[in-house]
C-alpha cells in the first residue's frame, strides 16, 4: 500500500511513522508537512518521502493532488492549536485545510481517507456514562478547538453525501500523550512560566478544578488504530481512549506527592482567562470548558472492528508525558523539537 500522511511531523504523525517503519503491508509512505527536512532525516522520519505544503495556502489543492497521486490511502492529521489568538489562521488550517485535503484526494482518485477528529467534537455529557460514536457532535461553543472539530465533522458529512465512492474514517481520540511530545505540549498549553523540571513529583500542591476528569490515550496506541483503519479500509467514526478515567488525585500522585487542592471551576476559569488575555497562558478558558464537559468515550467499536486494545494504561500514558515535559523531550521534527536542540537535529 502507498500511504500519504498529512501532518506527519506532529505528535500523532510521529507515532504513526514509527509504527510504519517495519510494516510490510505499507510499501511506500509520503509525509506532508509545512516544514520538511532539507536532507535525509533520522528515524522515524526517514521512512517517508517528504512534500512541503501549508494546507491553508491557496496552492494547497494542487500540491496535495500531486502528492496523493497513486495513493491507496491518505491519513489527515494536520491541525493548528497555536497561535490561539489568531482565530482566522486556526480556521484556515483546521477547517479549510481539511476541505482542501479531501478535494485533493478526490481529484487524485484516492479511495480512502482517514481523518483525525477528536473527543472535542462531542456535545457536553451530563454524567459519566461512556458514550459511543452516536453521541452528538455538537461541540462546546466556548472552545475554538471544539468549534473547529465540529466544523470538520460537517465537512466530512458533506463530502460523504456528495461522494459516496470516497471511503472516510474518523478517528476520535481522547487526549493523546507520549514522552516525545513533552516539550511540544508544554509550549502549546503550559507556556514559559510553568516550572517544567519541577513537575516530576516536586510541586508543593496540585490545584485541580472541581469535577474535572480526563481520559487519555498513548500516541503509540493511536498510531496502531490509524494503521488498522488504513489496512482494513474502514468507514465511519471510532472512539479511542485508555480504559481508566483519571481524576485529580491520579495527577497529584505524579506531580505533587499526592498533595491536591480542589479549586472552584469559576475561579479556575477566571484565572485561565486572565492569563490568556494577558498572553501569559497559551490557551484560553474554552479548553477548560471542553475538558469539564466532554463525555467519557466508549471504545467498543474500535475494539470490535479494528481489533484495537490500548497497550498503555491511562496512568502510564500520563506518566510518560509528564516525564517528557519535565525533560523537555522532543524529536527531530520542527514542531516536536526538544527544549534543548541536539546538534544532530535537522533544521527545516
Give 117-153 pLDDT, tens digit per residue.
999 999 999 999 999 999 999 999 999 999 999 999 9
The alpha carbon of residue 29 and the mean position of all alpha carbons in its chain are separated, in whole angstroms, by: 20
The predicted pLDDT at position 202 comes to: 79
The predicted pLDDT at position 194 comes to: 75
The predicted pLDDT at position 58 comes to: 87
Measure the CA–CA gap between 7 and 226, rounded to whole angstroms.
13
Q: Which strand (E) or helix (H) includes residue 237?
A: strand 236-240
DSSP 205: -
Quick one: CA torsion of 106, 108, 111, 113, rounded to 10 degrees?
-70
Helix or strand or coil: residue 291? helix
The predicted pLDDT at position 199 comes to: 74
DSSP 93: I
| Alpha helix stretches (DSSP H) within the chain | 11-20, 60-68, 87-91, 97-108, 144-162, 182-185, 219-232, 248-255, 265-277, 286-293, 300-305, 314-327
Q: What is the CATH number of domain 2-175+217-241+296-312?
A: 3.40.50.720
C-alpha cell of residue 248: 485529580
Measure the CA–CA gap between 328 and 65, rounded to whole angstroms.
37
287: CB partners within 8 A, 6+ apart: 143, 145, 189, 272
Summarised one tens digit per residue, pLDDT across range 325-339 is: 999 999 999 999 998
DSSP 297: B
The closest alpha carbon to 103, from 64, 69, 71, belongs to 64
Helix or strand or coil: residue 51? strand
Q: Pairing mode, if any, of strands 213-214 and 246-247?
A: antiparallel
The predicted pLDDT at position 341 comes to: 63
pTM summary value: 0.95
333: CB partners within 8 A, 6+ apart: 9, 10, 14, 33, 45
Question: What is the 3 state secondary structure string of 120-186?
Answer: HHCCCCCCCCCECCCCCCCCCCCCHHHHHHHHHHHHHHHHHHHCCCCEEEEEEECEEECHHHHHHHH
Domain boundaries along the sequence of the chain:
2-175+217-241+296-312
The predicted pLDDT at position 131 comes to: 98
Residue with cell 490561539: 84
Residue ranges for the chain with pLDDT beneath 50: 343-348
Amino acid at each position: 500500500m502507498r500511504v500519504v500522511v498529512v501532518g506527519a511531523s506532529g505528535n500523532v504523525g510521529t507515532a504513526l511513522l514509527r509504527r510504519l517503519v517495519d510494516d510490510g503491508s505499507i510499501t511506500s509512505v509520503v509525509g506532508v508537512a509545512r516544514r520538511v527536512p532539507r536532507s535525509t532525516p533520522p528515524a522515524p522520519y526517514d521512512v517517508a518521502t517528504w512534500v512541503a505544503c501549508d494546507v491553508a495556502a491557496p496552492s494547497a489543492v494542487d500540491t496535495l493532488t500531486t502528492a496523493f497521486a497513486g495513493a491507496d490511502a491518505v491519513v489527515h492529521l494536520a491541525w493548528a492549536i497555536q497561535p490561539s489568538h489568531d482565530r482566522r489562521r486556526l480556521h484556515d488550517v483546521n477547517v479549510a485545510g481539511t476541505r482542501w485535503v479531501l478535494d485533493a484526494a478526490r481529484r487524485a482518485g484516492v479511495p480512502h481517507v482517514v481523518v483525525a477528529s477528536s473527543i472535542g467534537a462531542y456535545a457536553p455529557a451530563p454524567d459519566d456514562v461512556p458514550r459511543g460514536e452516536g453521541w452528538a457532535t455538537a461541540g462546546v461553543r466556548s472552545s475554538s478547538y471544539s468549534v473547529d472539530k465540529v466544523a470538520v465533522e460537517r465537512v466530512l458529512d458533506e463530502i460523504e453525501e456528495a461522494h459516496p465512492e470516497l471511503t472516510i474514517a474518523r478517528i476520535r481520540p481522547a487526549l493523546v500523550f507520549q514522552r516525545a511530545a513533552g516539550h511540544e505540549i508544554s509550549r502549546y498549553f503550559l507556556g514559559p512560566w510553568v516550572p517544567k523540571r519541577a513537575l516530576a513529583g516536586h510541586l508543593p500542591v496540585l490545584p485541580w478544578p472541581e469535577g474535572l476528569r480526563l481520559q487519555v490515550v498513548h500516541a503509540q496506541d493511536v498510531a496502531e488504530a490509524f494503521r488498522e483503519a488504513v489496512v482494513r479500509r474502514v468507514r465511519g467514526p471510532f472512539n479511542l481512549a485508555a480504559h481508566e478515567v483519571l481524576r485529580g488525585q491520579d495527577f497529584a500522585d505524579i506531580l505533587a506527592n499526592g498533595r491536591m487542592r480542589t479549586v472552584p471551576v469559576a475561579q479556575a476559569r477566571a484565572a485561565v482567562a486572565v492569563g490568556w488575555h494577558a498572553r501569559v497562558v497559551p490557551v484560553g478558558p474554552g479548553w477548560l470548558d471542553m475538558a469539564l464537559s466532554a463525555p467519557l468515550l466508549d471504545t467498543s467499536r474500535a475494539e470490535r472492528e479494528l481489533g484495537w486494545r490500548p497497550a498503555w494504561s491511562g496512568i502510564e500514558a500520563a506518566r510518560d508525558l509528564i516525564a517528557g515535559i519535565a525533560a523537555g523531550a522532543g524529536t527531530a521534527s520542527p514542531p516536536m523539537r526538544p527544549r534543548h536542540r541536539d546538534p544532530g537535529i535537522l533544521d527545516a
